[in-house]
Structure 1
C-alpha cells in the first residue's frame, strides 16, 4: 500500500503478484474504522456496515466516478448530508447516523473483521485461506511402510493430476506436440500411460 491505497503498478517482488490477487478478498473481509474520514470513500468503502453504492444499487460505471470522502459530509463533528441527497436516498441518513463520529480526529483505520484487534497477521491470513482437510480413504494405502517412498509419491501425484505428462504441461500453458515415448502411437497422458497399455516381456504392448 502507498498512502493507504493499494498500488496497481508492477514492483519487483517474488510474492507481490500473488498478494495482489488477494486484495479483493481482503477488502471484502475488512471494514473502515472512522477517524477523520479523509481516507474513506463515502460510497465505495465499507465503513458503516455496508457499501453504500451497493445498498442503493448505484451502477458500477457511476459508482466508480464517485470520489467523495466521508470527511466531505462532516462539519464541526456532526453529519452534514445535502438535503437533496437525503431526500433521494431516504435510508441514507439512517445508515450514516448509526456511525459514531469520534471526538478526536485520528486517521482512518482499515480493520480485519475476523480478529478482535482488527489487525491482519500472517497467521490470521493462513488460517483464513486454509481449506478443510479432505478425508482421503486411499491415502493410507499409498503411504505405507511396505511401499517405497518414490512409488508413493508417484501415486500421490497421479491422484492429484500432477504427473508431468504432456497433457498436464499443456494445461499449465506449455504448447508442444505430444507423443507417448513408450509406444510412439498416442498422445502422452496419465490415463494412457497407466491404463491403456501394459509391459510384456520387456516390451510395451498397446491395448
Structure 2
C-alpha cells in the first residue's frame, strides 16, 4: 500500500493502479477530513473490468492537458453577465470612466445620501441646484441641472 501522508512538500508518486485490487478500490484509512471526502468521491468511480494504462487527464480541457487558465476558470466565482457590461468595460473608455460607470450601476458613488446611510450626519443639499438632497437619482435624473444636459 502507498503511504499518502509522507509529510509536507513530499511529492506523491503513486498510480491509480496502486489503489485497485481485484477490480475494487483499496484505499487506506486516513485521518484527514479532506482525504476522507476525496476517497468517498473516488469510491463512486466505477473501475473498468479490462486492463488499461494509467494516464493523466485534465477534465477541464478538451484535450486532457492541464492549463492554469482552465483551473482558474473553474475555481473563480463569476457573476451572471449583465447587458450593460460591454458599455462600461470598453477598451475605448479610460479606466476611471469605466470604474465610475460600474460604481454608478451598483449605487456605490459617494453621494451625501449614501454617506448618511453609513451613519455620518451631514446636512445635504445638491451642489448643482441647491434645492434637493444629494442622491444618485437626484444628481443624474431629477436635478434641474441634469435635465438641462
Give TM class, smaller chain: 0.3 to 0.5
User: Structure 1 length as normaliser, TM-score?
Assistant: 0.33
Q: Which has the higher contact order (CA 8 A, sep 6+)?
A: 1
Q: Give the structure with the higher percent strand.
A: 1
User: Structure 2 length as normaliser, TM-score?
Assistant: 0.45
